[in-house]
Amino acid sequence: MKKRRQLPVPAGLTELWLRRRPIHKVWHRVLDRRDPPYTRWLVQRALQAACRKGFGGLLDFTDEAAVAQEWHLFEIKGRAKVAMFLLATAQLLRRGLIEVEVDGRKVGALARPALPRSSQRRLPVIGQGAVAKRLTRRVGS
């Protein structure tokens, strides 16, 4: 049985557990609709730095593929390089401009609450003194 180890991912992304293996397969695609070629270029820089083949990992990762939102596969050697790729693309992941899967596990932004806790208002309890009088005045008039 192979051991799994938690990968240190940037803040705001889902945690990721990877098995010990020499090569990890990373699937990604560009979801940006406003400027897919620019987003592809940003991902390309991180991909070249992390990919096992370097510049060769960009094969079939073109502007046309980014516009068509096609999945692209490349291989990364070692967990440290996977963490480096996720760190480099963290802002794009948080904004939902790209989608990434590492060894079949989806990496994405954590769900945020609808309102921050400080802005959530407490509902008034009806039947308690001045609050109840204010509520009856508003409702009655």
Q: pLDDT for 29-62, tens place per residue?
A: 999 999 999 999 999 999 999 988 888 888 899 9
pLDDT of 123 over the 80 cut: no
For the chain, which domains are there? 4-112 (3.30.70)
- pLDDT at site 66: 95
Which tops the pLDDT comparison, 123 or 2?
2
What pLDDT is stored for residue 32 in this prediction?
A: 93
Q: What long-range pairs does 89-95 form, CB within 8 A, spacing at least 24?
A: 89/28, 89/42, 89/43, 89/46, 90/9, 90/10, 90/12, 90/13, 92/39, 92/42, 92/43, 93/13, 94/12, 94/13
Q: Quick one: 122 exposed, middle or buried, by C-beta within 10 A (0-12, 13-18, 19+)?
A: exposed
Report the pLDDT value the prediction gives residue 120, as an integer from 0 to 100: 47
The H or E element that residue 101 is part of is: strand 98-102
β-bridge partners, 16: 7
What is residue 61's predicted lDDT score, i.e. its pLDDT? 92
What was the pLDDT predicted at 12?
73
pTM for the complete prediction?
0.70
The backbone torsions φ and ψ at residue 69, rounded to the nearest 5 degrees and listed phi first, read 55, 45
Residues 55-103: tens digit of each pLDDT: 888 889 999 999 999 999 999 998 889 988 998 999 999 899 999 999 9
**pLDDT for 41:** 94
